[in-house]
Copies of this chain bind each other. A is one copy, B any other.
């Protein structure tokens, strides 16, 4: 960590600060320039409060050199994390397709979709039981009944299940779910992250709409610091000024996250774009830049879907896309 002191900082102020830093078990290297003084802080800086430091009157700026994340940092854990659920593997050179409807509606619907996406090559079934909606008047999902239907679909097809949790109070309902998803709006719901960190379930953590990649990794670190090492990172679009698509899919996040962390990285082009016809090109782009998996909405009857229906591919469209994704994956990894 580098701290630059302002011109005009007195010797006493500087010594006061250095004392404070040393009390935090850091070594301090001092480098005097003409206009400023640089302090190089050596040691475990992950516990230094960067915002506090940078807000001090005498401090010009503070810069971290190593990320404050430890457990998800590739520097300390060079080997790719591989997460196994059922027959599916995520990360470490495996490519994983997750597919299913935005919302679970009926037993017939979820079982039919599950069977069709399995046939098309999907490895994992997704489906929403608890739905985060901007408006309290929009459909909020089937809740516990949705979880039950997902488990029926698992029984019928053998596909592992991923579904979203919105509050710790429902954790018991997720006992037989294979992967628990944390949505973009809850990426910094730290109490939820900590509780999930105490379980041993794989967690699919979605990036917040306005969160930097370092904040994203810090949220993974919240989970991991409580003991649960099974985190899957999911890029799903960020909020920018352009409004043609629902959000701006930040695919550069894929190689950057792979560089900074050993955790698997997947991409959700359905929520990012919000439009069916943009899903296939962006899914293929995700594969081409190295994503470990793609999560796609598939619905057997998009017109009547209760929620986000028409950002869903039909099963036969998904089958075509799945084939193309495999071809692109082969092209980039061969």
Is A191 part of the contact surface with B, judged by Cβ < 8 Å?
yes
Partner of A284, one of B49, B52, B273, B289: B289
Partner of A255, one of B215, B277, B334: B277
Partner of A191, one of B52, B166, B212, B243: B166
Number of A residues, CB within 8 Å of B: 110
A219 to chain B, nearest CB (A): 8
Partner of A285, one of B188, B286, B310, B334: B286
Given contacts A4-B2, A285-B289, contact A189 B190 (CB under 8 A): no
Partner of A66, one of B36, B55, B166: B36
Partner of A288, one of B75, B239, B246, B288: B288
| Residues of A bordering B, CB below 8 Å | 2, 4, 7, 16, 29, 31, 33-36, 38, 40, 42, 46-47, 49, 51-52, 54-57, 60-61, 63, 65-66, 68-69, 75, 132-139, 166-169, 185-186, 188-192, 194, 208-210, 212-215, 218, 221-222, 225, 238-246, 248-252, 254-256, 259, 272-278, 281-282, 284-290, 303, 305-311, 324, 327-328, 330-332, 334
Judging by beta carbons under 8 Å apart, are A65 and B60 in contact?
Answer: yes
27 A/B residue pairs, CB under 8 Å, sorted by A: A4-B65, A29-B31, A31-B38, A34-B42, A35-B75, A36-B65, A36-B66, A49-B138, A49-B139, A55-B274, A57-B310, A136-B194, A136-B225, A169-B169, A169-B191, A210-B210, A210-B241, A212-B243, A238-B240, A238-B248, A239-B241, A248-B250, A252-B272, A255-B282, A259-B277, A281-B288, A284-B332
A300 to chain B, nearest CB (A): 16
Judging by beta carbons under 8 Å apart, are B225 and A137 in contact?
Answer: yes
Judging by beta carbons under 8 Å apart, are A310 and B55 in contact?
Answer: yes
A216 to chain B, nearest CB (A): 10
A263 to chain B, nearest CB (A): 16
A271 to chain B, nearest CB (A): 10
Judging by beta carbons under 8 Å apart, are B57 and A61 in contact?
Answer: no
Given contacts A242-B238, A255-B278, contact A65 B331 (CB under 8 A): no
Q: How far is the CA of A135 from the CA of B221 in the complex (A)?
A: 8
Contacts of A132 in B (CB 8 A): 188, 190
Contacts of A255 in B (CB 8 A): 277-278, 281-282
Judging by beta carbons under 8 Å apart, are A168 and B166 in contact?
Answer: no
Judging by beta carbons under 8 Å apart, are B169 and A251 in contact?
Answer: no
Closest to A133 in B: B190
Q: How far is the CA of A138 from the CA of B310 in the complex (A)?
A: 36
Judging by beta carbons under 8 Å apart, are B215 and A134 in contact?
Answer: yes
Contacts of A332 in B (CB 8 A): 284, 324, 327-328
Partner of A218, one of B57, B135, B275: B135
Contacts of A215 in B (CB 8 A): 134
Judging by beta carbons under 8 Å apart, are A65 and B61 in contact?
Answer: yes
Contacts of A311 in B (CB 8 A): 51, 55
